[in-house]
């Protein structure tokens, strides 16, 4: 995957994930001097008005949520090529797959799952359904 052309404020550092709707980059927010997660919509989806509207709605709702278990939205916009993006706080804790591959004690797994379920309950209460947990 080639590095995206981001607004000048953000310096792409590494691709950290890909999903059905796009890719997520760890980027450096040079104005705030911090790493962020930058989710960019795939080109094919960015051309679909219904998808763009749904993405904008989900980002707007997510930005209105303030909860310890929900990653905050920091910024949003359009790339030069018209693809929407959203900037989220970067959490360098690793993925659920990595955690489970380490075979931690059941108590640790249940603690993480409890936190994930708490976040999902908050999102669902706001009308959002998250389909791709990592």
- Active site members: 132
Whole-angstrom Cα distance, residue 73 to residue 88? 5
Whole-angstrom Cα distance, residue 27 to residue 3? 10
Torsion 66-123-48-81 (CA) sign: positive
Q: Which of 129, 100, 128, 126 is nearest to 112 (CA)?
A: 100
Phi and psi at residue 48, in whole multiples of 5°?
-95, 115
Alpha helices in 2-133 (DSSP H): 43-46, 49-63, 96-101, 106-125
């Amino acid at each position: 995957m080639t590095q995206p052309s981001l607004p000048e404020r953000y310096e792409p550092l590494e691709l950290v994930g890909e999903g059905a709707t796009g890719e997520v980059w760890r980027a450096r927010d040079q104005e705030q001097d911090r790493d962020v997660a930058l989710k960019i919509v795939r080109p094919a989806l960015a051309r679909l008005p219904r998808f763009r509207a749904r993405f904008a709605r989900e980002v707007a709702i997510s930005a209105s949520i303030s909860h310890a278990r929900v990653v905050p939205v920091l910024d949003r916009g359009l790339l030069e090529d018209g693809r929407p993006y959203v900037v989220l706080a970067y959490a360098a804790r690793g993925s659920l797959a990595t955690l489970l591959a380490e075979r931690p004690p059941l108590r640790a797994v249940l603690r993480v799952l409890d936190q994930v379920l708490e976040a999902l309950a908050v999102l669902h209460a706001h009308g959002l359904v998250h389909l791709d947990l990592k």
